[in-house]
Structure 1
Amino acid sequence: MSKHLAGEAMTAQEARIAAWLAGVFSLRIVGLFMILPVFALYAEHLDGATPALAGLAIGIYGFSQAIFQIPFGLLSDRLGRKRVIVVGLLVFAAGSVLAGVSHSIWGVIAGRALQGAGAISAAVMALAADLTREEHRTKVMAVIGVSIGVAFAVSMVAGPVLEGLIGVPGIFWLTAGLALGGIAVVRYCVPDPLDARLHRDTQPVPAQFRRVLVDPQLLRLDLGIFVLHLVLTATFVAVPHALVEQAGIPVNRHWEIYLPTMVLGMAAMVPFVIIGEKKRRLKQVFVGAVALLALAELGLVAFHAGAVGISLVMFLFFTAFNLLEATLPSLVAKMAPPDAKGTAMGFYASMQFLGAFCGGAAGGWIRGHYGLSAVFEFGVVATLVWLAAAWTMKNPRYLSSYLLNTGPLDESAAAELARRLTDIRGVAEAVVIASDGVAYLKVDRHALDEPALLAHSRLPA
């Protein structure tokens, strides 16, 4: 029986699956975030609008997504991945249409809440796991992760451009169209899985909820992603107003600020990611990025009255934001138990969405009562709280997740295999789940004796 080495490239079908599912993710992310840089100004023209309600409309999708994303993932185990994804995208499209036809702030709030209720993230991850081999799972998830980052950057630039061409209602209608395009991709481009089963590296497992919720290191990271998206959403409740009212730049030209600062910020963060991972300075890089985010918010307090000042500060903001978006999932993967990574990532994602909700609601309320500067001051305080928590976290172990297909085992054989795997050079932890037929490992890839490890696998030729 031949073995598939972990260093072997994905098959053409696996690469296509990764690309198509990354596209489904990206279409939804673009639809959610295109209104972020433009909605705060548009909301002023809606019936019944107040700054607080405008902020609520921006962030409310996060509340419904935080509620539904884990249940949708669990439901996909029973009803089928593709069926749940299609239903979720239909709900998302319906919310987009409702927001697009609404002339009142409450109608848009309802539409945005419905958008978030179409929470397909966990189901898409589970489908990707069903359709790819264990040894390539990390690569597939990396492709999806990169696509999310690119989609966010595109949406920040596309939103102001499209606002000038089709208006915010048009953006909502376009978002509905993108969701329907995602359904077509899922139905006609992504194959049906032959065996849909539980994947502990990508899916939450109810029996493990308490385990990850009492882990202080994971809780620090959950706090981190909560604050990061709280600050992001609150900041963009206020920045569009600063660009129009203080800097005199019309909303359809805001992309001229966001495009260069976003691109330069993404480029600037790359060396720090390399230093963090390759030089094993991840905690130092991470804490430095949180401090930079606090500095950027402080800069917005002082320099939000002019285009040059806002541009310089937004460069710092996007550098810190992109760096933190890249390092936080890596830290979760390193610190989560090998067989509970999916559960840890599920709660991490829920805290991200909850942060977006709280940031929109709090940012809008603060702007309405205390003005723009107070929103940025709120961002400074929130980020300093996070900095204190990040400062006390442990240095991560520089271990990677590794999955090994073991084939069917009984419980005693699984326990014996786990013992043998931990004796292999470079294997730090091994958990073999007999019912899954998978060994979930934490390994030091620089020291790993991979041939010895693969001698225990049962992979098809």
Structure 2
Amino acid sequence: MNKVEIKAAASLASVYVLRMLGLFMVMPVLAILTQDYAGYSAMMVGLAIGGYGLTQALLQIPMGILSDRIGRKPVIIGGLVLFAAGSIVAGMAENMSQLIVGRVLQGAGAIAGAVMALAADVSRESERTKMMAIIGVSIGFSFYLAVILGPVISSAFGLSGIFMVTAALAALAIPLVYFVVPQAVNAAPQGDTLPALKDIRAMLANGELLRLNLSVLILHMMITLLFTYLPEKISAAGWPLARHWELYLPVLILSVAGLVLLMRMAKGWAIRLPLMFSVAMLLVAFAGYLWVPLHMSWLMVFTLVFFIGFNFLESNLPALVSSVAPAGKKGSAMGLYASFQFFGAFLGGAIAGVLRQYEGVESVFMLAILLCVCWLLLLAGLNGSQRLKRYTLTVNVTASEASHLAHQLANLAGVNDVTVIPQERAAYLKVDDTRFNLQQARQIVGEQQ
């Protein structure tokens, strides 16, 4: 990576961290700190925890498309302004309804698609994967940091203090985007970075992608279900909120070690097997919460089991979506995946709140166990095919020449799928890299120009 790409990766990853910290810091404390709010109920708590997911899911794809029309930075800055405004509304809330409005407004700052597109615009094709990986790691890092910092900050400044810190973080990210993130000189080919509305129906009709989209929806239902219950359980075990980080820190560190071990074990397995094993870990965790008398030691064990499974699924599902998506359609596939992800967070909060209010906490765990069983059946039908690598080649052909070029590229050894889009001056390839000869492909493209 050159200096511009390193600067872009660091600054965009920082923007992500600042924003995601704000979304996640409240998750481990909301269920406890809202008990004194007017209008408090289990249902309202669930909506407050997951409310951001509704607007994130609805606006994820439109905001990405808008960034292609008015520019990446205006959309990112506008999203950060909305996020900061929502944080201030939530921070000043005096009742649960106002708090939920603030959380929903936070979610309206759906900038993930625009950030990824800008990252693609300022990086060379050969370095784009590294750029995306750095940003992806920053998302995971921000979640862990938020879960630890949330209880610490809330003990000093209360729930409103967390939201005001969140607004300040969003405000800090705005000049970072405007002054530090490099300006894009060239727009990257859109097929693998931005969603297209015309592709959404086809993505929904793709059975493999639908299994993966439903998987991430259920996964984020699970994490939201967990945080409607876990903070109260830790407090009931005699740990004040200010000390909750002492449980989360070792559990999260050990879960990363467990993730590494699981990834090593899974080498050589059919693709669906480690996914199903991870889902089984979530099932075991929720069964433990439901049926085992939970002293603190058992609470830590089952929470560790949950996070090992969660970490594996969270890190591997996006890679599978990227592999399964048709050539030139990864942007649409990933945009739809993100929408399912955030909608899952909303559903988890809303359903957990209703069940806790009217049926009790046991019904939440029974739902989680039932969802895991259904999820295992869903994954059992997942195709165990190998992962394929993607290449994007620059082309300069007319619409009439595009079909001939696509046919030539498709006949190369190892090529699984080809899409040539003359308007983007791009040829998208999905290949088996053990058989594919990149130089041959480049030679064919060169002969056509």
The TM-score range, normalised by the shorter chain, is over 0.9
Q: Which secondary structure state, in structure 2, belongs to the residue aligned with residue 453 of structure 1?
A: helix
Aligned to 1:305: 294
Q: 1:194 aligns with which of 185, 193, 215?
A: 185
2:104 aligned with 1:113: yes
Match of 1:24 among 7, 15, 25: 15
The answer on 1:81 being equivalent to 2:76 is no
Q: What are the superposed Cα offsets for residues 295-341 of structure 1, whole Å, 9 maximum, x if unpaired?
A: 11111112363211110001100000000001111111111101111
SS in 1 for 2:110: coil
Partner of 2:426: 438
Once the two structures are superposed, residues 187-215 of structure 1 have per-residue CA deviations (whole angstroms, 9 ceiling, x without a partner) of 01112222346511111011111110111
Q: What is residue 269 of structure 1 aligned with on the other side?
A: 259
Query: Residue 292 of structure 1 contacts residue 316 of structure 1 at CA under 8 Å; is this kept in 2?
Result: yes
Q: Which residue of 2 aligns with 1:235?
A: 226
Q: TM-score, normalised by structure 1?
A: 0.93
Query: Would the aligned equivalents of 2:52 and 2:106 in 1 still touch at CA under 8 Å?
Result: yes
Please give the secondary structure, in 2, of the residue aligned with 1:46: coil
Report the TM-score when normalising by structure 2. 0.96
Q: Is the aligned partner of 1:51 residue 2:42?
A: yes
Contact 2:77 2:174 in 1 (8 A): yes
Shift in CA distance, 12/274, structure 1 to aligned 2, threshold 3 Å: farther
**Would the alpha carbon gap of residues 299 and 58 (structure 1) be closer, same or farther in structure 2, given more than 3 Å must change?**
same
* 1:417 and 2:405 are equivalent in the alignment: yes
Q: Over residues 79-107 of structure 1, what are the superposed CA-to-partner deviations in whole Å (9 max), with x where a residue is unaligned?
A: 11100110110000000011011111111
Distance 1:102 1:112 in 2: 11
Native 8 Å contact 2:216 2:337 kept in 1? yes
Structure-1 separation of matches of 2:187 and 2:440:
29
Q: CA–CA distance in 1 between the matches of 2:3 and 2:271? A: 33
Number of the residue aligned with 1:340: 329
Name the counterpart of 1:7.
none
CA distance in 2, matches of 1:275, 1:422: 35
Matched letter for residue 422 of structure 1: A
- Residues 405 and 445 in structure 2, CA contact (< 8 A), matched pair in contact too: no
Q: Given the alignment of the two structures, is residue 396 of structure 1 paired with residue 385 of structure 2, yes or no?
A: yes
Contact kept, 8 Å, 2:189 with 2:426, in 1: the verdict is no
In structure 1, what is the equivalent of residue 415 of structure 2?
427
Q: Which amino acid aligns with 1:202?
A: T
Question: Does the C-alpha gap of structure 1 residues 440 and 328 become closer, same or farther in structure 2, counting only changes over 3 Å?
Answer: same
Identity in percent: 41
Residue 421 of structure 1: how far off its partner (Å): 2.2
Say if 2:151 and 2:242, in contact at 8 Å, map to a contact too.
yes
Q: Name the amino acid aligned to 1:75.
A: L
Q: Which runs of 5+ in 1 are unaligned?
A: 1-9
- CA apart distance, 1:457: 5.8
2:124 corresponds to:
133
Contact preservation (8 Å) 2:91, 2:164 = yes
Q: Deviations over 1:226-259 (max 9, x none)?
A: 00001110111011111112x1111111111111
SS of 2:191's equivalent in the other structure is: coil
Aligned equivalents of 2:32 and 2:194: distance in 1? Answer: 38
Contact 1:304 1:310 in 2 (8 A): no
> Residue in 2 aligned with 1:254?
244
- State the Cα RMSD in Å: 1.6
Question: Secondary structure in 2 aligned to 1:441?
Answer: strand
Task: Report the CA distance between 1:51 and its aligned residue.
Answer: 0.9
Secondary structure of the 2:190 match is coil
Structure 1 pair 198–49 and aligned structure 2 pair: CA distance change class (3 A): farther
> In 1, are the aligned partners of 2:87 and 2:106 still within 8 Å (CA)?
yes
Partners of 2:291 and 2:119 lie apart in 1 by 46
Aligned residues: 446
- Counterpart in the other structure of 2:438: 450
Q: Which residue of 2 aligns with 1:328?
A: 317
User: What residue identity is the alignment partner of 1:309?
Assistant: W
Unmatched tracts of structure 2, length 5 or more: none
Deviation of residue 166 (structure 1)?
A: 1.9
d(CA) in 1 for partners of 2:416 and 2:261?
28
Structure 2 counterpart of 1:282 = 271
Provide the residue aligned with 1:142 in structure 2: 133
Q: What's the counterpart of residue 363 of structure 2?
A: 374
1:5-59: CA deviations, max 9, x gaps? xxxxx22211221121111112111110011011000110111111110110111
1:333–1:400: 8 Å Cα contact kept in structure 2? no
C-alpha displacement of 1:137: 2.0
Q: CA deviation at 1:374?
A: 2.5
Relative distance call for 1:456 and 1:153 in structure 2 (3 A) is farther
Assess if the C-alpha contact under 8 Å between 1:301 and 1:376 holds in 2: yes
Contact 2:408 2:444 in 1 (8 A): no
Aligned twin of 1:104: 95
Deviations 1:401-422 (A, max 9, x none): 222222x211233222222223
Aligned 8 A contact 1:227 1:355 in 2: yes
For residues 376 and 243 of structure 1, the distance between their equivalents in structure 2, rounded to whole angstroms, comes to: 16
Amino acid at match of 1:354: F
| 1:161 has 2:152 as partner | yes
Query: What is the one-letter code of the residue matched to 1:70?
Result: I
